[in-house]
Amino acid sequence: MRIGLLNGGGDCPGLNAVTHGVVGAAAQLGWEVVGFKEGYEGLLSPVKCKILKRSKTEGILKLGGTILGTSNRGRFSSKVGEGGVRKIPSELMDEAIANLREQGVQALVCAGGDGTLTTALQFMEEGFPVVGVPKTIDNDLGATAMTFGFDSATQVVVDALDRLQTTAESHKRVMVLEVMGRHAGWIALYGGIGGGASAILIPEIPFHYDKVADILLEREARGFASSLVVVAEGASPLGEEKVYEETGGGGEDRLGGVGERVAKKLGELTGKETRSTTLGHLQRGGSPTSFDRVLATRFGVKAVNLIEQKRFGRMVSYQQYHVGSVLIEKAVKKLNLVDPEGEIVRAAKSVGISFGDEA
């Protein structure tokens, strides 16, 4: 048995641990694993691939990034604009499937987010067996309670806030930290709570600048001269559009700049010295946390189990501490968003964190 493995979309901590899990589990069955480089692009002629031997993947689970490389803007990009889906041209699908069969690959493991898994569904529709592994630091993929990379990204946010807190206190400043989170505010929410933020602004809760300013002034009146504000890149004030760094470049438009805008407005409203920092790709880099290493390894093993059981068209899923599986179609149908009335948001508000809403 020979199976294929590729990574699609943005990189994130834990992708190499998935590879470690897939190769290790396959070796136990006497199978061979072919790793395709640069995501789906590696399936096209000339094919970019290599045999992944267990002896070469033993120590990679601690490494960040991916030894296979990835792509999120190639010819197989299936996400276009805000929620749009693009059908991959049949000639590309035919070429990719022909090359897979020429390599002797009988099933393909696709690790990625909703775009990668949407493309994986098209492979299934064309009759080629696939299994999906959910990968997104935003934790916004439906049908799984957690995705690897999220915990590592959150830890980067917490570390940044710990560092910003000391400089904020030294200068009595408001520090605004912009983090990733296009549609879902999970990174901002968990990172903000863990890092002691005074306000957390997320896409699911449209905010009011004056409400955020009020909490900062209230803190100052109580003797707290400095404050931390975390804002997800997809957050926006009530009635306003999201802030884009780049548009019209093919694929989804690039968000960015809301942190600077929030900092400027809060400075005007409070009269306090305000600075902004954008973490950007720092959240994607570096070694995965122990949680992400274990979860990603379990995901890789489960993907091989699904192939062994011939349960194709399914995505590995983490629910209630158990790794199972769901239909890929179900997984990409609905995003996993923060519930504005949920327990985590209520807990944050209970300790005085503002979301800039009227509640």
The b/e string for 184-197 (b: 16+ C-beta within 10 A; e otherwise) is bbbbbbbbbbebeb
Alpha-carbon distance of 171 to 168, in angstroms, equals 5
Please give the single-letter amino acid code of residue 170.
S
- Phi first, then psi, for residue 276 (nearest 5°) are -125, 150
138 is annotated as an active-site residue? yes
Catalytic residue of the set 11, 114, 138, 140: 138
Please report, to the nearest 10 degrees, the dihedral formed by the alpha carbons of residues 27, 325, 79, 127 taken in order.
70
Angle between helix axes 290-308 and 150-171 (nearest 10 degrees) is: 160
Residue whose entry in the numeric block shows the structure tokens 């599986």? 325
Task: Quote the CA–CA distance of 299 and 315 in Å, as a whole number.
Answer: 9
- What radius of gyration, in Å, describes the C-alpha atoms of the chain? 22
Residues identified as active-site: 138
